[in-house]
Amino acid sequence: MDVKVVDKWGDLILEVGASLRVDLSSEGDGEQFSEVDPEQQSDSDSDSEQPLARSLRQDRTPSPDSSVAITDIPLRILVSSKVLTMGSLVFKEMLHGSFAEAQLHFNQVDPPTLSLPEDNPRATLLFCEIVHCSPSVHHFKGYKTLHELGIFADKYDCTRSLRSWFRGQLFRFVGAGLDYFDIDALLNEGMSAQQMLKLCFLMNDAEMFALASKTVYTHVSPSEISPKLETLYEDEVPERLVDLLCSFGRHSIHDFAGIGPALIAHVSRQHKWYGYFAPIPCETTQEEDELDHSQVTGLCYGNIVRIGVLGATLASLSLLPSNDPEVDSKRSPVAMLRKLQRLGEIDFGDRKMCCPKTARCNCGHDLDIKFELDKKIKVAKQKARGICLGCVKDDTEPISDFLPSHNSRCERHVSWGE
């Protein structure tokens, strides 16, 4: 049986997937495998290959590692036992602990065989190539392969050794603000924010998980978070993860919904309000009652009309706070952000809404809300932050203990358990 050589000076052969008996070549998602002999490459480019498949491969950017189908099950991989134990705590305990595998005589002349019958050959090969620093593993692998690797890494406790490589795979999707993933870039690779969230959870990467969690709860409404995750997870979805995503999403929605009333209060030059349109009454002297109201507060006829139009616009765009949880559950922060940006493009300084000339009012100035709106949007966006991976995995503390006033610099905001 052929041996896949990852380390030509290797002293151990891994025999992977004996109990699977699956041809993984039919499950590929566009990723490529490393190091292929010229004879194998010429065989794969033979006339028997389908023209469409050949043309698709020719259109790809050439790389040192041509596409190799894993057809030999089990797959035999020549590796270094020392590198393997450095990359995985489980392999370290297995090969140097009290297990039977520790009795193997590792040597380069006649390497012993370690059987891993239930492991995924593709994920095992990729792990070996990464920890052996193979130059052929730096191109993007696709969600399916990364997910298989995440399951393998979780089983063999090797997330630390894979972290820098894993982040290299994901950094191409980080947005301009470096605090979220670009949804369009993910879609171009056939991925979703929920898939990215699961990958970061499996790989135990707190920094990438924070970006993924923020991307999910800002782009997905609270009512859709659980259904979308249920379609992604084969087993039960972590309930605490869903609760945290929904809670953070609702708080972000609340922050964006508060922009409208704050904007109206700013325009009307009132610091505190009853509801959205009625200023708080205060005791006034008789002399103050006789003063022109427009000179004291600026709320002349024209400005009142403009404020009314602004309030009606906010209501029509569903940008005002709601006491109905059902309404908030169907909102998403990103959708509200887009509506607020549209609001800033509306001209509320139409002179047709000014007081009549006979009133001799100076409300003819343009009403510009753009600057104040942009400032409040920036504040609301800065409040949104990623969820701490440690807070997700530690279910001993209730969510209310650290939400929403939980410090973003959480002491547990490190890779969990490391």
Q: Which helix (H) or strand (E) holds 278?
A: strand 278-279
pLDDT higher than 50, residue 242: yes
| DSSP SS3 for 273 | strand
More confident residue, 272 or 198: 198
pLDDT at 82: 92
Q: Which tens digits make up the pLDDT trace of 335-385?
A: 999 999 988 887 776 666 666 665 556 555 556 678 889 999 999 988 888
More confident residue, 114 or 301: 114
Q: Which tens digits make up the pLDDT trace of 95-117?
A: 887 778 777 888 888 899 999 98
Task: Give the residue extent of every domain in the chain.
Answer: 1-123, 213-282+292-418
Residues of the chain with pLDDT > 70, as a percent, come to: 68
| DSSP SS3 for 12 | strand
Beta bridge partners of 77: 4, 14
Q: Which tens digits make up the pLDDT trace of 140-158?
A: 888 999 999 999 999 999 9
Q: Which tens digits make up the pLDDT trace of 25-59?
A: 444 444 443 343 444 434 434 443 444 333 333 33
Give me the mean pLDDT over the 90-95 stretch: 90
Backbone angles phi, psi at 116, to 5 degrees: -125, 75
Residue 248, CB half-sphere, CA atoms under 13 Å: how many? 29
pLDDT higher than 70, residue 183: yes
| DSSP SS3 for 5 | strand
Instruction: Give the span between the Cα atoms of 149 and 281, in whole angstroms.
Output: 64
pLDDT at 131: 93
Instruction: Give the span between the Cα atoms of 29 and 222, in whole angstroms.
Output: 30
19 neighbors 118 (Cβ within 8 angstroms) = yes
Beta strands in 105-178 (DSSP E): 113-116
Average pLDDT, whole number, for the chain?
75
pLDDT at 171: 87
